[in-house]
Copies of this chain bind each other. A is one copy, B any other.
């Protein structure tokens, strides 16, 4: 099937999904979860082929992300079941206005329509994304990287069987067959067919979407997250938070990449930081990349200019000294990707300046940036983390996969 044919299928499926009840959707999700488990052997078989083909062409870390097991498929199925348990966003009345003339205006949450997701080589994204899209009333079009395509096809087959067993159309979850760049471009410009495109991947993919997409698109992911240690910071708290934000899981987007320190506390703070993150760490000591002023206080690598614009995703931390909270805010707003930033301070004036002044999705006072996550924020799930300002900002849950329409009921009112 060509991508165009698949998009026509998706568009036609929209109206069918429109008339499906919340109960039917939930029972279909449970049926999809069962089908995943039932098809474990088939999925593992295709996954083995993907791994065989990919070996030697991608890194071991990527091979690990690609590899499925019975346990991982069970986890994917449990994930789908958990989505079934979440409250449905569909039909929620966001605001109700009754006018003097009796006209009732209800701003009502409704599905977007067709949600397309471009992702790379993690096969589990297939079932996660499909579950969230269907739960929120959307037809799901998936386009995965070529390394994971056989696995994704086996997973989608299972999910479609689950839909069919529940009496619904297989077309609610569709996988693009073409894995060349061409199909990504087709999705980006599928005006009238794709209601929302979510690119989940590296900087190249996101930039291609920003530049080429004519369909509505949400940028997700990249996080150059900062922590600013204010002059009034509790030093033990600051050490603890920086350690957590940098080292608890450096490969994720909410990990800290840049530390900004007020010069009035730097002489006391930085030597303790070096002790904690470098000298006393037996495994994975952090590489500190220091600006000129920090280098006068502790030893470390000399930071290059682009170290302050890099998502390391590794045990590396760029360190910059500033004179004031204002300078910290300016530096962060210039170099951040708008994901998550934190201030460590005991001064409520500095905290207020920081939370007002920082232009990012999540702004923390005295806590680790690592909390920026749909689950941690109480959304129950996550389709990605938006780093843009329109429609959705920060973790995207089910509500963010809906739009609204005004439903207005009258008895003959005219204007």
Q: How many residues of A contact B (CB 8 A)?
A: 69
Chain B nearest CB: distance from A36 CB in Å?
29
A403 touches B415 (CB 8 A): no
Kindly supply a per-residue 1/0 record for chain A positions 373-415, scoring 1 wherever the CB is within 8 Å of any chain B CB and 0 otherwise. Answer: 0001110000000001111011000000001111111111111
Tell me whether A355 is interfacial, beta carbon within 8 Å. Answer: yes
Residues from chain B with a CB closer than 8 A to the CB of A196 are 389-390
Pick from B97, B366, B378, B408: contact of A97, CB under 8 Å: B378
- Shortest C-beta distance, A99 to chain B (Å), equals 7
Interface of A is mostly: mixed
Q: Are A412 and B234 in contact (CB under 8 A)?
A: yes
Chain B interface: which of A116-124, A285-293, A312-320, A356-364?
Answer: A356-364
Please determine whether A214 and B216 come into contact, CB atoms closer than 8 angstroms: no
Is B405 a contact partner of A367 (Cβ separation < 8 A)?
no
* Cα–Cα distance between A372 and B357 once the two chains are bound (Å): 36
- Contact partner, A216, options B234, B368, B389, Cβ 8 Å: B389
- B residues less than 8 Å from A365 (CB atoms): 407-410
Q: Which residues of B contact A57 (CB under 8 A)?
A: none
Q: How many copies does the complex hold?
A: 2
Interface hits, A193-210 → B, CB 8 Å: 195-196, 210
Stretch from A40-48, A71-79, A237-245 forming part of the interface with B: A237-245
Q: Footprint of B on A, CB under 8 Å? A: 14-15, 18-19, 97, 99, 103, 105, 112-113, 191, 195-196, 210-211, 214, 216, 218, 234, 237, 240-241, 243-245, 248, 329-330, 333, 351, 353, 355-357, 359-368, 370-372, 376-378, 388-391, 393-394, 403-415
Closest 7 CB pairs of A and B: A367-B410, A244-B414, A389-B403, A370-B415, A390-B391, A391-B391, A237-B412
